[in-house]
């Protein structure tokens, strides 16, 4: 039972998908900043409805 639960927990991220956008920066150490995003389910660009956005900034890569 525990083995099955651990397998599900470790395989779950494989089913998540996100698009990426690259933003050019002036920083010498990081010329391109990459951000991942997901479009909300049911999003319609023709509607004037507001959508919430969650942005997660990760750790530093050295």
pLDDT for 46? 87
Question: Tens digit of pLDDT for each residue in 19-59?
Answer: 888 999 998 888 998 888 887 788 888 888 777 777 666 66
The residues pairing with 32 across neighbouring beta strands, listed in sequence order, are 24
Q: Are 45 and 28 in contact (CB under 8 A)?
A: no
Using the structure block, give the residue that is written with the tokens 């494989």. 14
**Coil, strand, or helix at residue 9?**
helix
Higher-scoring residue by pLDDT: 2, 39: 2
pTM: 0.50
């Amino acid at each position: 039972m525990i083995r099955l639960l651990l397998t599900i927990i470790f395989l779950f991220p494989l089913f998540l998908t996100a698009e990426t956008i690259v933003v050019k920066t002036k920083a010498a150490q990081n010329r391109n900043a990459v951000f991942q995003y997901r479009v909300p389910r049911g999003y319609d660009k023709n509607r004037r409805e507001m959508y919430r956005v969650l942005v997660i900034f990760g750790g530093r890569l050295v």
